[in-house]
């Protein structure tokens, strides 16, 4: 592959592993780093040292502090990783003349809209995680013109426990679960997102993108659809308003992302692909 070397920082996360599998499968020269090899809490010199050795053409940051409620309780850590850590990594990328690609989130938006968000819509985060990720976007953009900001949303994939796997588990055990009806967004399968990220970051068309499966659904309706797609009962799911639950972080009530010309599959297609993938993995065990 003529592209050069891609270094994924955060390669052991849910999306990081999907991206590694996608890029490796397509024959790219790719190196993945976990937090034990490249830690965003370390100083810039240490980050520079490890990355300089690898001579990257592009650095893709999937690493982040991702605990949305935890960020309210520990804002210093969320900011140290997502804001200051991204600044260090973006600046190191610029020093090494590497393209910088930064994965961000629908939570940079406030949810006060009646249509899926476009990349150029104004960000206005309403929780600490969203603010920390928006700072990350700012550093990605400030550090160099050769950057990509890739916003995605409501991720699930086989490499980590997630909302879909949790719903499947609860359905199999008929364990009652309360699920929110008034958060609407776009569930996105990491397989689809990884595939689209590869297309964007090798395009040379720098800028901000929405990279999410398409459509809009509430958490509750998503949970019912998951059970139905897996042939499991859903009567253990109890609809509830988020106001009745005690989340530390506020979430945008409506945050679907419009992925425009990327022509991403629907969230239902992503769900079926994920269930098929799970079945293959289980068969092999």
Ligand X SMILES: NC(=O)c1ccc[n+]([C@@H]2O[C@H](COP(=O)([O-])OP(=O)(O)OC[C@H]3O[C@@H](n4cnc5c(N)ncnc54)[C@H](OP(=O)(O)O)[C@@H]3O)[C@@H](O)[C@H]2O)c1
* Residues that bind ligand X in the complex, under the rule CB under 6 A: 10, 12-16, 34-35, 38-41, 62-66, 81, 85, 103, 105, 133, 152-155, 160
Burial of residue 157, with CB atoms counted within 10 A of its CB: 0-12 exposed, 13-18 middle, 19 or more buried:
buried
Could you tell me the smallest distance in angstroms from the CB atom of residue 152 to ligand X?
5
Smaller CB distance to ligand X: residue 4 or 34? Answer: 34
Smaller CB distance to ligand X: residue 65 or 189? Answer: 65
Smaller CB distance to ligand X: residue 85 or 265? Answer: 85
Could you tell me the smallest distance in angstroms from the CB atom of residue 142 to ligand X?
18
Smaller CB distance to ligand X: residue 13 or 252? Answer: 13
Q: Which residue's Cβ lies closest to ligand X?
A: 13
Could you tell me the smallest distance in angstroms from the CB atom of residue 230 to ligand X?
20
Smaller CB distance to ligand X: residue 14 or 30? Answer: 14
Give the DSSP per-residue string, the chain.
-TT-EEEEETTTSHHHHHHHHHHHHTT-EEEEE-TTTS-TTS-HHHHHHHHHHH--SEEEE------HHHHHH-HHHHHIIIIIIHHHHHHHHHHTT-EEEEEEEGGGS----SSPBPTTSPP---SHHHHHHHHHHHHHHHH-SSEEEEEE-SEE-TTS--HHHHHHHHHHTT--EEEESS-EE--EEHHHHHHHHHHHHTT---EEEE---B--EEHHHHHHHHHHHTT---TTEEEE-GGGS--SS---SB--B--GGG-PPBHHHHHHHHHHHHHHHHHH-
Could you tell me the smallest distance in angstroms from the CB atom of residue 212 to ligand X?
8
Could you tell me the smallest distance in angstroms from the CB atom of residue 223 to ligand X?
15
Smaller CB distance to ligand X: residue 170 or 255? Answer: 255
Phi, psi for residue 283 in degrees, rounded to 5 = -60, -35
Could you tell me the smallest distance in angstroms from the CB atom of residue 47 to ligand X?
9
Smaller CB distance to ligand X: residue 221 or 236? Answer: 221
Could you tell me the smallest distance in angstroms from the CB atom of residue 2 to ligand X?
27
Give the DSSP per-residue string, 241-269.
-GGGS--SS---SB--B--GGG-PPBHHH
């Amino acid at each position: 592959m003529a592209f050069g070397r891609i270094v994924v920082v955060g390669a052991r996360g849910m999306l990081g592993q999907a991206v590694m599998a996608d890029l490796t499968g397509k024959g790219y020269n790719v190196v993945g780093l976990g937090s034990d090899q490249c830690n965003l809490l370390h100083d810039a010199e240490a980050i520079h040292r490890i990355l300089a050795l690898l001579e990257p053409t592009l650095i893709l940051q999937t690493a982040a502090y991702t605990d949305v409620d935890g960020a309210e309780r520990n804002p210093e850590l969320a900011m140290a990783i997502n804001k200051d850590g991204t600044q260090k990594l973006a600046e190191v990328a610029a020093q090494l003349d590497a393209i910088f690609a930064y994965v961000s989130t629908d939570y940079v938006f406030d949810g006060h809209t009646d249509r899926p968000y476009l990349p150029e819509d104004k960000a206005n985060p309403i929780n600490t995680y969203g603010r920390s990720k928006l700072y990350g976007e700012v550093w990605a953009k400030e550090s160099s013109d050769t950057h990509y900001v890739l916003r995605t949303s409501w991720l699930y994939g086989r490499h980590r426990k997630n909302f879909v796997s949790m719903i499947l588990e609860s359905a199999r055990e008929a364990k009652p679960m309360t699920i929110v009806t008034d958060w609407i967004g776009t569930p996105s399968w990491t397989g689809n997102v990884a595939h689209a990220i590869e297309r964007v970051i090798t395009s040379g068309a720098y800028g901000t993108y929405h990279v999410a499966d398409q459509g809009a659904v509430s958490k509750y309706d998503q949970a019912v659809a998951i059970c139905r797609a897996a042939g499991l009962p859903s009567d253990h799911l109890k609809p509830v308003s988020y106001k009745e639950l005690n989340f530390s972080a506020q979430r945008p009530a409506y945050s679907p992302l419009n992925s425009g010309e990327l022509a991403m599959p629907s969230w239902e297609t992503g769900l079926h692909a994920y269930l098929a993938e799970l079945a293959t993995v289980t068969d092999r065990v």
